[in-house]
Amino acid sequence: LVHLKSLTLKGFKSFASATTLRFEPGITCVVGPNGSGKSNVVDALTWVMGEQGAKALRGGKMADVIFAGTSGRAPLGRAEVTLTIDNSDGALPIEYSEVSVTRRMFRDGAGEYEINGTPCRLLDVQELLSDSGIGREMHVIVGQGRLSTILESRPEERRAFIEEAAGVLKHRRRREKAARK
């Protein structure tokens, strides 16, 4: 199983100064008052793994992830998040026992990705994480309010959710595509 070691946020949402969270094996709890940035930490995790939708990140546009400034602090020009993953068991298809994925974004919307400090494409990040169980389509991140959405959904919607979690939906989509040919 893949283990997340640390997450560093720099200019990401409310985290203007570089902030590193270290995750020990086991359960990590992030606590704090309303608006203190707990959900922003989760957003950073989804974002660094390649999330492309501003809505999924609770913003109107992608550049909203960049620190927008406060009364005492000027806005920043870029957001940067680095996720370090323990790969000592070789779960990720890369020859390193520790893997760092970095995503950076500038105000003009330009962005870049790095794996262990080497520039790469979004596709490389997606492929690196796709079978690890932490890719963006995996249901390992359950956002605020998401549980009630699932519990209150119609049976067919709930079925789609379970199928996606079980990895069935991918095959259903492929079958439908093949049938159309």
Q: Which does 34 bind (CB under 5 to 8 A by kind): Mg ion, ligand ATP, none?
A: ligand ATP
Could you tell me if 7 and 23 are in contact, meaning their C-beta atoms sit under 8 angstroms apart?
yes
160, 172 Cβ separation under 8 angstroms: no
Is residue 87 part of an annotated ligand binding site? no
Q: Which of 2, 3, 6, 39 binds ligand ATP (CB under 6 A)?
A: 39
Stretch binding ligand ATP (CB under 6 A), from 27-35, 104-112, 120-128, 164-172: 27-35
The entry of ligand ATP, Mg ion, none near residue 68 (CB within 5 to 8 angstroms by kind) is: ligand ATP
Q: How far is it, in rounded angstroms, from Cα 126 to Cα 93?
A: 12
CA gap 64, 78 in Å, rounded: 10
167 is in an annotated binding site: no
Least distance to ligand ATP from the beta carbon of 111, Å? 15
Between 66 and 81, whose beta carbon lies closer to ligand ATP?
Answer: 66
User: Rule CB under 5 A: which of 20-59 touch Mg ion?
Assistant: 38-39
Structure tokens at 59: 């913003």
Choose among Mg ion, ligand ATP, none what residue 11 binds, the Cβ cut-off being 5 to 8 Å by kind.
Answer: none
Give how far Cα 176 sits from Cα of 160, 169, 172, 181, Å. 15, 10, 6, 9
Q: Is 9 in the site for ligand ATP (CB under 6 A)?
A: no
| Annotated binding-site residue? 6 | no
Q: Is 36 annotated as a binding residue?
A: yes
Helices (H), the chain: 38-48, 122-129, 146-152, 155-166, 168-180
CB neighbour list of residue 16: distance below 8 Å, 6 or more residues apart: 67, 70, 73, 76
- Site for ligand ATP, rule CB under 6 A: 13-14, 32, 34-40, 64, 66-68, 144
- Site for Mg ion, rule CB under 5 A: 38-39, 144
